[in-house]
Structure 1
Amino acid sequence: MIRVAGHFGELLQGRLGAAGPVVLVTLPCPALAVTARQTPSAQFSLHNLGQRLLTPARARAFLASLGLPLRNRHVLRAQMPAGGGAGASTAALVALALQAGWQGAPETLARACLEAEGASDPLMFADPSQRLWASRAAQSLARLPPLPGFEVIGGFFGPCQRTDARDSRFADIADLISDWTAAAAQGDLPRLAALASLSANRNGALRGGAQIAALASLATDLGALGHVIAHTGAARGLIFARGQIPARARAALIAAGARQVVQFPAGGGL
């Protein structure tokens, strides 16, 4: 069985300049994944929580684009909701390709995912959080320093929303990139959390600022260093130093409307 970890929103996402490409720094989430297995007798099973991850036709076309023959039927299972901003679509494609025998370059796999989806997360790479990723071009624009260790607790709020590859309504975050690179190189977690919060707030002003303001208020109440969101999905989380998540955080998130609360480590070589 193949397991491909998803992500939990984006630490940064926005335009690289007012008219530049949409870029992001993803937040890998080892607690949420898509698994794939083969079975010679079953049909394609590509659903999760009543939502379709892939259509059989799309799965066949994707495998064909990689030169992979369809010898067996594939069963995919996701731990995250489709459209939740946790990478279900990209993780499903990567898991399907690996289960079908893909052994090529991750860059080639990224281009195939882009062709299938119109936008892609960098989940086919071993170091997704160390890439300034142009999601609409499936390209790594810069390598970033590794992140210091931290923890995130969060959940899914409100309706899920699949990414629209034509959507470029994002705030300009070009000024945050150099600060992010410097803070990551210094291992400055409070600064990184503040930058993630600023990215969330800027884009939240375009996409539902009241919900982001409530998340920021919850972060302050619980003593979090900052907050992180799926900029086009339902995932919302709080950033803490490791070992500092208060015992009441889960209940507070549920009271605020979170579904499927998840807690996971990030950075620190993970």
Structure 2
Amino acid sequence: MSGHFGEWMQGRLGPGGPLALVTLSCPLSPVEVSPGAGPLLPPERIANFCAALGVADPGLGLVARLPLGGGTGASTAALLQIARAVGFHDPDRLAAACLAAEGASDPLMLARPDGVLWAPREGRALAKVAPPPAAEIVGGFWGPPLPTDPSDIAFPDIADLFRLWSGRDLPLCAEIASESARRTTTARGPADDPTATLAADLGALGWARAHTGSARALIYAPGTVPAAAEAALAEAGLTDIVGFRTGGPA
């Protein structure tokens, strides 16, 4: 079960508009099935999810492979693992069930999560978008976990950034991601986030962040990540350093 690693952009579509995002897909699984482990999520959340699908709780044991509250889709991924265990795959029903259970949802149930403008507090796609070009990501986690509060929609306006999104030009996509990350960091913190400086020092095209959560990502064209990147992120205080590829043709 793949996850995501923050977002290319996230914010309001106009001052009074809905919260919307384009997710930064990540092939790494934030959670994995582990027989004998606990359920990972609160029992009432699992009960509400299973009730929304009309299925019995399979009692699945799960463990986190990436930090919970990091902005990697672990909570949605855990619910989808439960659905998979009982043979449930319909994406629309899964999105509605995630919303019923948690009040928010990542688009991980979709075949192409980064090919939509997603409304996380509504559990639905607002529009199809061109997926981002192939990119190489190196990232980690900065600061404490920050679980999603479904009532929180106090994010900057990104309507202008969405209008610029084409999915065809990686430097432009990286610039959009950087600006969306800057706006959220300015509005919501943390003020001492080193990711923008790391991106400049390490020659990245740009940087992205979990707009709720601690995941931080440097964006590179494939094959151009400098050898020193992971060590530099660790030295700056980021933890659980990872590298992966994202984007590209469906």
TM over 0.5: yes
What whole-Å deviation, never above 9, does each CA across 1:138-173 have from its counterpart, x for those lacking one?
Answer: 110000112211101010111001011111111000
Task: Name the one with the larger strand percent.
Answer: 1
1:73 shift after superposition? 2.7
Whether 2:3 is the aligned partner of 1:22: answer no
| Map of 1:46 onto structure 2 | 39
Report the equivalent of 2:174.
Answer: 193
2: CA distance, partners of 1:195 / 1:122: 20
Q: 197, 200, 223: which one pairs with 1:243?
A: 223
Partner letter of residue 45 of structure 1?
G
Residue 128 (structure 1) aligned with residue 113 (structure 2): yes
Deviation for aligned residue 1:209: 5.6
1:196-236: CA deviations, max 9, x gaps?
A: 00000111111116334x31111011000000000110001
Secondary structure in 2 aligned to 1:84? coil
Identify the match of residue 57 of structure 1 among 44, 57, 60.
Answer: 44
Offset at residue 58 of structure 1 (A): 2.4
Aligned to 1:110: 95
Q: Any gaps of 5 or more consecutive residues in structure 2?
A: none
Secondary structure in 2 matching 1:159:
coil
- Post-superposition shift, 1:31? 1.9
SS in 2 for 1:73: coil
Alignment correspondent of 2:61: 75
| Matching residue of 1:175 | 160
TM-score (normalizing by structure 2): 0.95
Aligned residue in 1 for 2:3 = 6
Counterpart residue number, 1:139: 124
- The number of aligned residues is 250
Please say if residues 39 and 59 of structure 2, whose CA atoms lie closer than 8 Å, have aligned partners that are also in contact.
no
Q: CA RMSD in A?
A: 1.5
Q: Counterpart of 2:201 in 1: which secondary structure?
A: helix
Whole-angstrom CA distance in 2 between matches of 1:211 and 1:114:
33
Which whole-Å deviations, capped at 9, do the CAs of 1:97-119 have from their partners, x for residues lacking one?
Answer: 1112213x201100110111111
Separation in structure 1 between the aligned mates of residue 156 and residue 190 of structure 2, nearest angstrom: 13
1:136 & 1:58 partners in 2: Cα distance?
Answer: 16
Query: Per the alignment, do residues 211 and 236 of structure 1 end up closer, same or farther by CA in structure 2, a change over 3 Å counting?
Result: farther
